[in-house]
Every structure is written in structure tokens, then in C-alpha cells.
């Protein structure tokens, strides 16, 4: 059977290799450099035959995709956006059955402590990049994931809707903490993606630190607006801000007051604030 049975059809589909762990060491000088990436590929195209009959003639194995990542790294990484685009263009431009490639990359940071020594904490912030390519211009997205931010003051939450199930008290001074995931799409790819990324990240930090927050939604918009003002190449910013709750502890049973200094860091459940800030069409 080369076509689906009557009444059935194949919908959108893709396949690829997820979680390709890549470390590249630059040894050109005694002062080494290290890049630590996780790469994900997803390919789409003319794959009806493999779904309907198991005919794999047009299928580029996911193991081959993994090997391509390592082979391309031999000549260097460059910016994560450029590396993702190199891979995406290769898969589409060299394989007739592939019409679209999506390559996502997360970069794991290392801090230099010597000419060939580095340190890194487990988890924490990742730099992200995604490239979608189907021939012609590539669509490029940059961003961060799990960027932990916290303000110890300058945050309130009150005036909200109250019903019979509301127990949350209003507060005029609270800890505001979150783990930001942000992604901004480039309307035009910047000449220097590294410089532009760091400008966007700095704008994010400045907006979070400099906004007197009456809600996490307000902070989200302020962050997105600041990134767009700072990065003219960006057309929109998508943000996800989980509320990392910090609960003021009642120390009265121990005969102690608590003037806003002792908190319990909450885990689950948590509030999740998400939104998109767009540049208006001119």
C-alpha cells in the first residue's frame, strides 16, 4: 500500500535526533576555549512512503543527523545561530526528500578559572537558538531558558479579583522570583548575533531589576518591551515566567517577629505567566 486506506491520511510530521551532546575544545592557543551544546534536529518533507509502507528510501537516519552535528563541529562552532543555520541548510539543500529543517540548540555555560580550566554549576541558565529553513531565507530565533532572577523588594500584588475561594492576602512588599524563558525572533538576522544576544539579555536583566512590579504580568511586558527597544532586529518576544513563590514564615509561635527576612521557597504548585510582546507594524 503506497497510499492511505480510504478515510485516513497522514498529517504534519517530522523526525530527527534530540539531545545530541556536543563539546568542542579550541586548542589553537595555550589558552583553550570550550563550547558545550545540546543540539536537536527535526526534518520534514516527502516521507509518506515510510509511514504508509515502511519504504525508507528518502529517510536520512537520525544517527546520520547526529554524526553530521559532530562533523560540522570539526571546523568550529561560531555563534549558535550560525551553527544551527549551517546544519539546517545542509539537511535541506543536500537531500531532495527533505523540504524543511528545524535545528534547536542550547548552550551550557562554563566559567573560566584558568588557561585550560573551567567551572559550571549544574542546571541554571541556557542560551538558546532555533533556526527554521525550508529554502530561501532562514528564520532565526535567539533567547534564554531558566534564567533565575529575584527581586527582594519593589514588588506588590493586590487589587485582584476575590471570590468565595480566595485566601491569598494582598501584599505591598514581596519577593518576586522567576526562571525566565525568553525567545525573540529576528526579522532580519543581525550582523553580530553574539553581540545582539548579549544586548537582548542585558535589556532583560535591566527591565526586571528596574521595574517596580505590581504584577508579574507587568514585569513580563516591561521585559519584552525593553528587549524590542534594544534589539531592532527583533520582531517579537515570547516570554514564560513561572512565579517562584517565597512565603513569609510565621515565627510568632517561637516568640519571634519576622520583619520580612525569613521565607520558605515554594516548589509546587506555581503560577505561570506567559505572553508575547510584538512590535507594531509600521
245 is catalytic: yes
17 is catalytic: yes
Exactly one of 40, 90, 108, 245 is catalytic; name it: 245
Number of H helices, E strands in the chain: 5, 12
Helices (H), the chain: 48-52, 62-73, 80-94, 193-210, 216-230
Helix (H) or strand (E) holding 240: strand 234-243
Q: Distance (Å, rounded) from C-alpha 244 to C-alpha 179?
A: 8
Neighbours of 140 (CB within 10 A): 25
- Burial of 115 from C-beta contacts in 10 A (0-12 / 13-18 / 19+): exposed
Strands 139-151 and 176-186, by their bridges, are antiparallel
Exactly one of 32, 38, 50, 62 is catalytic; name it: 62
Helices (H), 33-146: 48-52, 62-73, 80-94
**Beta carbons of 237 and 183 less than 8 angstroms apart:** yes
Q: What is the longest distance spanned by two Cα atoms in the chain?
A: 79
Residues for the chain: how many in total? 282
Q: Distance (Å, rounded) from C-alpha 146 to C-alpha 36?
A: 17
The angle formed by the CA atoms of residues 190, 193 and 198, to the nearest 5 degrees, is: 120
66 is catalytic: no
Q: Distance (Å, rounded) from C-alpha 202 to C-alpha 241?
A: 17
Active site (catalytic) residues:
17, 62, 245
Amino acid at each position: 500500500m503506497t497510499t492511505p486506506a480510504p478515510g485516513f491520511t497522514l498529517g504534519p510530521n517530522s523526525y530527527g535526533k534530540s539531545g545530541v551532546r556536543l563539546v568542542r575544545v579550541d586548542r589553537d592557543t595555550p589558552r583553550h576555549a570550550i563550547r558545550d551544546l545540546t543540539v536537536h534536529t527535526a526534518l520534514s518533507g516527502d516521507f509518506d512512503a515510510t509511514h504508509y509502507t515502511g519504504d525508507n528510501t528518502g529517510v536520512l537516519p537520525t544517527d546520520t543527523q547526529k554524526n553530521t552535528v559532530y562533523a560540522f563541529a570539526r571546523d568550529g562552532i561560531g555563534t549558535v545561530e550560525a551553527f544551527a543555520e549551517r546544519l539546517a541548510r545542509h539537511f535541506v539543500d543536500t537531500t531532495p526528500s527533505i523540504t524543511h529543517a528545524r535545528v534547536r540548540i542550547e548552550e551550557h555555560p562554563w566559567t573560566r578559572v584558568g588557561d585550560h580550566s573551567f567551572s559550571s554549576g549544574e542546571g541554571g541558565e541556557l542560551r538558546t537558538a532555533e533556526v527554521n529553513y525550508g529554502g530561501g531565507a532562514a528564520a532565526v530565533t535567539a533567547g534564554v531558558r531558566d534564567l533565575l532572577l529575584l527581586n527582594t523588594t519593589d514588588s506588590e500584588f493586590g487589587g485582584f479579583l476575590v471570590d468565595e475561594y480566595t485566601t491569598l492576602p494582598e501584599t505591598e512588599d514581596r519577593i518576586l522570583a522567576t526562571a525566565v524563558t525568553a525567545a525573540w525572533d529576528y526579522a532580519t538576522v543581525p550582523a553580530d548575533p553574539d553581540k545582539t544576544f548579549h544586548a537582548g539579555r542585558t535589556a532583560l536583566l535591566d527591565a526586571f531589576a528596574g521595574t517596580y512590579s505590581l504584577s508579574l504580568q507587568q514585569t513580563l511586558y516591561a521585559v519584552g518591551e525593553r528587549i524590542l527597544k534594544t534589539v531592532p532586529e527583533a520582531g517579537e518576544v515570547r516570554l514564560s515566567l513561572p512565579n517562584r513563590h517565597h512565603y513569609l514564615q510565621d515565627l510568632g509561635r517561637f516568640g519571634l517577629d519576622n520583619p520580612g527576612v525569613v521565607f520558605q521557597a515554594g516548589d509546587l504548585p506555581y503560577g505561570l505567566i506567559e505572553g508575547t510582546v510584538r512590535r507594531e507594524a509600521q
